[in-house]
């Protein structure tokens, strides 16, 4: 009687997590490629449509929530948004095309002249702290874009908020 000796059965080496993830990645790529081809085949007979003109409605200034609870901080925040929506002017309170200077934006958003004056005072204080200017119009005329003006509005709103104004 002859006996045959078999080699002991060995288990394949266990796959590491990285190996399993790589295999899953390749399998998913193959499935996604197959699905993309199936989609193209199934929709080839459908004529292409022109994309629809979707217009996003503009919210009124009062509908945009202010991050501040104090009246002057809210006013300064709204005035900054007014400059962003209407445009910034270096020259006049209000341009013919609707662009505004900082004071024009504050006056547009203020409930009364006293509130506008208080907001202008805080804006000038924020400007003096960071840019050493004498007046809002002279500082505004030196700017080359609306970015520093909007930054000044943010700083003035923070100042009003911190003072609970």
Digit-by-digit pLDDT tens for the chain (165 residues) are 566 666 666 777 787 888 888 888 888 888 888 888 888 888 777 776 665 565 655 555 555 677 888 999 999 999 999 999 999 999 888 999 999 999 999 999 999 999 999 999 999 999 999 888 899 999 999 999 999 999 999 999 999 999 998
26 part of a folded domain = no
155 part of a folded domain = yes
Asked whether the CA dihedral 127, 128, 129, 131 is positive or negative, the reply is: positive
| Model pLDDT, residue 3 | 64
| Model pLDDT, residue 161 | 93
The model's pTM is: 0.61
| Model pLDDT, residue 28 | 86
The DSSP 8-state label assigned to residue 152 in this structure reads: H
For 115, the domain range is 62-162
Total tally of structural domains belonging to the chain = 1
42 part of a folded domain = no
Q: 146 in the Ramachandran plot: left (φ > 0), alpha (ψ -120 to 50) or beta?
A: alpha
81 part of a folded domain = yes
């Amino acid at each position: 009687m002859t006996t045959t000796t078999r080699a002991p059965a060995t288990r394949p080496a266990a796959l590491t997590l990285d190996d399993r993830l790589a295999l899953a990645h390749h399998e998913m790529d193959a499935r996604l490629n197959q699905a993309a081809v199936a989609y193209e085949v199934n929709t080839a007979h459908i004529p292409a449509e022109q994309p629809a003109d979707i217009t996003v409605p503009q919210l009124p200034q009062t509908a945009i929530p202010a991050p501040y609870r104090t009246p002057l901080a809210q006013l300064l925040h709204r005035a900054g948004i007014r400059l962003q929506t209407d445009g910034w002017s270096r020259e006049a309170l209000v341009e013919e095309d609707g662009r505004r200077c900082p004071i024009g934006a504050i006056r547009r958003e203020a409930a009364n002249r006293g509130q506008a004056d208080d907001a202008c005072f805080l804006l000038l204080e924020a400007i003096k702290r960071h840019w050493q200017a004498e007046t809002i119009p002279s500082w505004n005329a030196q700017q080359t874009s609306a970015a520093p003006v909007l930054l000044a509005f943010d700083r003035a709103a923070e100042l009003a908020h911190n003072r609970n104004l």
